[in-house]
Amino acid sequence: MKLGHKIRIGRQIKGYSQEVMAELLGISHTAYAKMERGETKVTEDKLSQIANVLGIEKEDLKNFDEKMIFKNFNNILNSANSSQYNNDFENERKAYLQTIELLKAQNEQQQAVITQLLAQLAASQGTK
């Protein structure tokens, strides 16, 4: 696997766009995209910067292969996206809480209807 491909996979696992990576590295989007495509040689200094942004060691990035995706990048995925996951989780939690409140209100209405029907049933049986 070529270095540019390894960098792209690391970026994708991290959840960054090429634009974000370029901004974090202080280079243009075009320059970054060329590195990923293998059109520009990645210097050791730039590789160190990329590894730093991805939160991994430079050697791990160099030696990366498909077998390492879950092994070495799992921590990146968990930590890099934790704020996004937290936001997603919080939004989902709020949606569930709203649904719960709605269901509680519906349940109360249904309980009131049941109570009313039981009262009517008892009244009708008492008149017979």
Render pLDDT for 49-67 as a digit per residue (tens, 0 to 9). Answer: 999 999 888 988 888 776 6
**Domain coverage including residue 24:** 3-80
Rounded Cα–Cα distance for residues 20 and 36 (Å): 14
Classified as helix, coil or strand, 42 is coil
Q: How many domains does the chain have?
A: 1
Tell me, what CATH number does 21's domain have? 1.10.260.40
Render pLDDT for 1-16 as a digit per residue (tens, 0 to 9). Answer: 799 999 998 899 888 9
DSSP string computed for 54-75: HTS-HHHHHT--GGGHHHHSHH
Q: Does residue 128 form part of some domain?
A: no
Q: Does residue 95 form part of some domain?
A: no
- How much is the pTM? 0.53
Confidence of residue 92 (pLDDT cuts 50, 70, 90): confident
Residue 71's pLDDT is what?
A: 59
Residue 27's pLDDT is what?
A: 95
Q: Which of 121, 119, 10 is nearest to 61 (CA)?
A: 10
Q: Does residue 18 form part of some domain?
A: yes
